[in-house]
Chain A
Amino acid sequence: MTVAFGSRPYTRLRVEQHGPVGWLIFDRPAAANAMDAAMFDELERAWVELEAEPSVRVIVNTGEGRSFQTGVDVVQMARDQDALREHSRRTREARLRFTAWHCDVWKPVIAAVNGTCAGGGLHFVADADIVIAASDATFVDPHVSVGQVSAYEGIALARKSPMEPILRMALVGRHERIDAARAYRLGIISQVVDPPERLREEAQALAEKIAKNSPAAMAATKRALWGALETGLTEACRAGAGHLVSMWGHPDQEEGPRAFAEQRDAQWAAIEGRQPGIGAHQGG
């Protein structure tokens, strides 16, 4: 079942719900899904709406057409001075609001990379919990080949995967690509889908597996593990202890073992709606 989603229509994205899975699909295929001002606005709205909807347990992010995402649409942004100014301000102040991580989404997020993921598109790989890709997907960071700095995407990727390939991608620029098979071996992604046409089907299947787990336990797990990227090991473990204990006494901790013993699916407590301001990383 496909359900159109959201308070207002989307023009640059398709936002849908398929069972317990929310889908956020970049939908500017004629522009290789590059982000213009309207898409930036819609991305923030879509993440917030998907996070707030209790029947959405897991979110899949993919693209329409031959590209997954190719970063900022510089030409389009230049025509909209207000939007450009606002995006520049957010970039300068590190207050971006277009990925799940920026928007404090604590539901599991799967990036399903179809085709080309270039430059700013790597934000959505860096900031997802799980990344899978079609076998014909490619990863390239052309920033330095057009006189731009590569920063946020590589900073996060360097903390989540071996750093040398990330530095190589950032410094070689448009003169080389990483293919899906290499990304898989490096652990940047965890699954290569072949043939590529089966990407969405596999993403939905993976998301449905994840949707069987306790939403509250997954949200606390996500906070604990992303917290590990913020501090030293001992401090992260201390903070992790807090997330661990946050589930003690929660109904899911009774229901989980009981459902397992009774060999049935667990009936999890619905997760509470988003709690604004709780995110560790956008505190300023």
Chain B
Amino acid sequence: MGDYEHLIVERHGPVGWLINNRPDALNAMNAKMRDEFADAWIELDRDPEVRVIVHTGAGRAFQTGVDVAEIASDGVGMQRYRESVEQWDLHFTSWHQQVWKPVITAVNGICCGGGFHWVADADIVIAASDAQFFDPHVSIGQVVSIEAIGLIRKMPAEAVMRMAFVGRHERMSAQRAYELGMISQVVDPPERLREEAQALAEKIAKNSPAAMAATKRALWGALETGLTEACRAGAGHLVSMWGHPDQEEGPRAFAEKRDAEWVPLEGTSESE
């Protein structure tokens, strides 16, 4: 781990950064990058110094999905991925990798097609004011499925359906994404995206890592089942913090008007 060809992994204070780094290919995901994602999420999740993770892209695109050029030229095509998809054995987003630290996706420039995986699977999404969202799958004879299934549970469905069916013939602006609640912040000028992402991540890093991990489990659980069952499961996550030192430290630090000293989160990846 730690040595990547198509990703950059950095640490700035308590914030781990995962940067898509194939700018010449608009950060399209080839097979190598796909494998590197699996490792990079685990590396950042296991690092106790990292409290929050920001995911962004280098260059004028955030992510543009599977590398179609590779698919078209390597003689294997999408068949390379058949087994992992059929077996539902994906490992390229933080959700796939069961990262329970907060994840912020910071969308620079173009986010299209498979790029929506990282919008759907992040906890928080912010975007540069010149970011653009579109889903060209059906325009090149591909099915829109997993990304949109996630999005449709997290935001108004009509907007997701429209993107799925209009394909490459229309783009959604960052402003519209903000209005719909797909993202929570538009950064203008766009050059300030990383600075704002770091500032937001540092706010989040002030909160209890253990409480945030349990909160994340409870809220993502809401997408899995009915409301009542999700609340029952949520009760388990709620109670999991009872007796944890952070529950004493939090109110004490608040009363004493100082930053809380939280217990570091143990590495939890893939331990479910």
Contact = CB atoms under 8 A, between A and B. Distances in A.
B215 A154 contact: yes
B207 A229 contact: no
Nearest to B260: A147
Given A154-B222, A162-B156, A149 B214 contact: yes
Contacts, number: 173
Contact of B211 (A147, A185, A226, A280): A147
A167 to B, nearest CB: 4
A161 B181 contact: yes
Contacts of A280: 228
Nearest to A155: B222
Interface size class of B (residues with CB under 8 A): 35 or more
A171 to B, nearest CB: 5
Interface in B16-63: none
B204 interface: yes
B241 A172 contact: no
Contact of B208 (A93, A145, A229): A145
A155 B238 contact: no
Nearest to B245: A147
Contact of B219 (A150, A186, A284): A150
B222 A148 contact: no
Contacts of A171: 102, 123-124, 204, 207, 212, 215-216
Contacts of B226: 229-231
Interface in B138-162: 153-156
Given A148-B211, A162-B156, A175-B206, A155 B180 contact: no
B183 interface: yes
A93 B214 CA distance: 17
Contacts of B230: 155, 159
A145 B154 contact: no
Contacts of A146: 208, 247, 250-251, 254, 260
Contacts of A143: 211, 215
B258 interface: no
Nearest to A161: B181
Contacts of A74: 251
Given A164-B124, A176-B203, A159 B208 contact: no
Contacts of A173: 203-204, 206-207
Contact of A187 (B181, B235, B246): B181
Contacts of A152: 231, 234-235, 238
| Interface residues of chain B: helix, strand, loop or mixed (majority) | helix
A247 B52 CA distance: 52
Contact of A155 (B181, B210, B221, B249): B221
Interface in B244-263: 244, 246-251, 254, 260, 262
Contacts of A282: 228
Contacts of A172: 124, 200, 203-204, 207
Interface string A124-156: 000000000000000000011111111110111
A88 B228 CA distance: 18
A259 interface: no
A176 B262 CA distance: 20
B179 A185 contact: yes
A144 B212 contact: yes
A94 B232 contact: yes
Contact of B215 (A159, A161, A170): A170
A159 B156 contact: no
Nearest to A282: B228
Nearest to B242: A88
A145 B215 CA distance: 12
B240 interface: yes
Interface in A186-207: 186-187
Contacts of B265: none
Nearest to B244: A147
A34 interface: no
Interface in B155-196: 155-156, 179-184
A192 to B, nearest CB: 16
A278 to B, nearest CB: 14
Contact of A93 (B206, B234, B235): B235
B5 to A, nearest CB: 31
Contacts of A230: 226-229
B179 A91 contact: no
Given A93-B235, A164-B183, A147 B124 contact: no
Given A94-B234, A164-B124, A164-B183, 13 more contacts: A88-B242, A91-B239, A144-B208, A147-B210, A147-B249, A150-B219, A155-B234, A158-B222, A162-B182, A168-B124, A171-B123, A175-B204, A185-B179
Interface of B: 102, 123-125, 153-156, 179-184, 200, 203-204, 206-208, 210-212, 214-216, 218-219, 221-223, 226-232, 234-235, 237-242, 244, 246-251, 254, 260, 262
19 contacts: A91-B239, A144-B215, A147-B208, A148-B250, A149-B214, A149-B240, A149-B241, A150-B218, A150-B219, A151-B219, A154-B222, A156-B227, A156-B231, A162-B156, A163-B222, A164-B184, A167-B123, A173-B207, A185-B179
